[in-house]
Structure 1
Amino acid sequence: MPRVSELFTDVRGDDRTMRITLHPERPGRPAAVVVSVWMGPVCRASFRMDPEDLDRLMATLAESKTALRAAPTAPGSADSVVAAVLDAGTPPSATGLVA
C-alpha cells in the first residue's frame, strides 16, 4: 500500500469514496498520483496524474474553496458553485462548467 494516502467520503453517501494515493517511481513506471473512485469495496474508476500537475490541481481546489465561500445562493447548490466560479472571472472552459 502506498505510504501517502487519503480517503474522502462522497456527500451523496451510498458507500461512495474517493482515494488519493501517491505511487512512487518504479522500474518501467513513472511516479503518479492516483485518484480512484470506489463504491464499497469495488474500484469503479481511476486516474493517474503526473505529480508535476499537483500545483495546478491544488490551485484549482483553493480557487474553488474561495468561490464557494463567496457564493451568493444556498451553500452547496449547483447554482451557487457556477455563480461563484463565474464571478471569480474563471472562464467556464477552464472549470469544466457549462455556462
Structure 2
Amino acid sequence: MARQQLPRTGAVFLDPRGEDRSLRVTWHQEQQLVVLSLWRDNVCAGTFRLSADEVPDLIALLRQGLDEAYAAARRRVERLDQPSEAG
C-alpha cells in the first residue's frame, strides 16, 4: 500500500468535548483545494473538499460571526459597567 505524504500546510483544531475529536484543515495547492476532515480517535470520520476560490467566502462568514460575537460581548460589558437605575 502506497503511503501519501502529508501536506506541508495545514492545522489541527481540537474539539473541547474531548474524546480525541479534531478538525484537520489541509491545503492541497496542486489541486487548488482545502480539505476539512473530522477525526475521532485518530480515525477520519468524514471529509469536505472546498475549492480554493470558495475559501474567501468561508473566511468572510467566520469573520462575520466573530465580529458579531465580539459586539455582543462588548454590549454585555457595557451594560455591566452602567450603574443600576433601580438603586
| TM-score, with length taken from structure 2 | 0.71
Stretches of structure 1 lacking an aligned partner (at least 5 in a row):
73-99
Map of 1:87 onto structure 2: none
Q: Report the alpha carbon displacement of residue 9 of structure 1 after superposing the two structures with TM.
A: 0.8
Which residue type is aligned with residue 70 of structure 1? A
Stretches of structure 2 lacking an aligned partner (at least 5 in a row):
1-5, 74-87
Q: Tell me which protein shows more helix as a share of its residues.
A: 2
Deviations 1:61-92 (A, max 9, x none): 111111111236xxxxxxxxxxxxxxxxxxxx
The reply to whether residue 23 of structure 1 matches residue 31 of structure 2 is no
Give every structure 1 segment of 4 or more consecutive aligned residues whose post-TM-superposition deviation is greater than 4 Å.
Answer: none
The total of aligned residue pairs comes to: 68
The reply to whether residue 36 of structure 1 matches residue 37 of structure 2 is yes
RMSD of aligned residue pairs (Cα, Å): 1.3
Map of 1:63 onto structure 2: 64
Residues 13 and 71 of structure 1: CA distance in aligned 2, closer, same or farther (over 3 Å) = farther
CA distance in 1 between counterparts of 2:16 and 2:72 reads 19
**Aligned-pair identity (%):** 37
CA distance in 2 between counterparts of 1:2 and 1:50 reads 16
The reply to whether residue 10 of structure 1 matches residue 32 of structure 2 is no
Map of 2:51 onto structure 1: 50
SS in 2 for 1:12: coil
Structure 1 or 2, whichever has the larger Rg, is: 2
Map of 2:76 onto structure 1: none
Q: Report the alpha carbon displacement of residue 18 of structure 1 after superposing the two structures with TM.
A: 0.1
